[in-house]
Amino acid sequence: MPRPPARAVIAATLSAATLLTVPACDSIAGLGRPVSAARGHASAASPTTSAPPPAAPTLTEAQARDALISEADLGESWGATQGFATWREAMLKAETESADCRRLLDALYAEELFGPDARTRASVGLDDVWDEAQLRYQVVAHRPAGLDRTLAWLGRLPDTCGEFTATAASGEMAVEVTEAEMPEVGDGRQGLRVVLRAVSEYDEAPTLTLHVAAVRVGDDAIAITNGGLGEVPADATWTAVETGAQRLAEVRKRGRAEI
């Protein structure tokens, strides 16, 4: 028997309209696990030196789209997104004193986990109609050093931003950031669980739970957020990371074979 839809708890600080889903914007998605190839330059002064292996080709837009996951990968409760859940505006658009913690909130709100310099290659949005969760999935391209710096920063956040207070238009929120387990895929990875609780005199203040995953695969990366005001299935995040990484690896391998 299908599970009944999870009911988001609405406090006086957030009206029911605030937490509904707004009309659809651009869909997003992404994931992958390519194999890095060595890069080098042949020397004109050393004609007998063997040429270095060819660098892995940059993904085309079509290849990046082929590497995306879909609702079929996550199960029958998932479907194409109906639009941005407006808890993004109500709870993620927030300020806090710590620069690191503010950077995290800004990155989640703008969907730029790897920073504004990283380029989104392909993206998708998926909704869980049973639990009313929303998963945003991106494949991005950036310099490997830049991707690794972001992963290192995300890894520090459970220590630097384990617990802090943020202020949104709806009021104050207590935020908790903890590390989350990730499948062993890609060339580097980091998972987080971010919980934002509205501070209110009411016992039933809304709570937003976000699973955050970032994986570097060569010169590309996966960025995933899976969040909602009710139950948020962690297995969907795990599947998105694992399946997407394998799919991107296959796309990269096929691209090299076609050179």
What does the chain look like in DSSP terms, one character per residue? -PPPPPPPP--TTS-GGGGSBPPP---------PPP-------TT-TTSPPPPPPPPPPPHHHHHHT---HHHH-TTEEE--S-BTHIIIIISEE-S-HHHHHHHHHHHHT-TT-TTSEEEEEEEEEETTTTEEEEEEEEE--HHHHHHHHHHHHHHHHHSSEEEEEETTEEEEEEEEE----S-SSEEEEEEEEEEE--SSTT--EEEEEEEEEEETTEEEEEEEEESS---HHHHHHHHHHHHHHHHHHHHHHHHT-
Each residue's pLDDT, cut to its tens digit, for the chain (259 residues) gives 444 443 333 333 444 334 434 444 343 333 333 333 333 333 334 444 444 444 455 788 899 999 999 999 999 999 999 988 889 899 999 999 999 999 999 999 999 999 988 999 999 999 999 988 999 999 988 888 999 999 999 999 999 999 999 999 889 999 999 999 999 999 999 999 999 999 987 777 899 999 999 998 888 899 999 999 988 989 999 999 999 988 988 888 776 545 4
Domains and CATH numbers, the chain: 16-33+56-257 (3.40.1000)
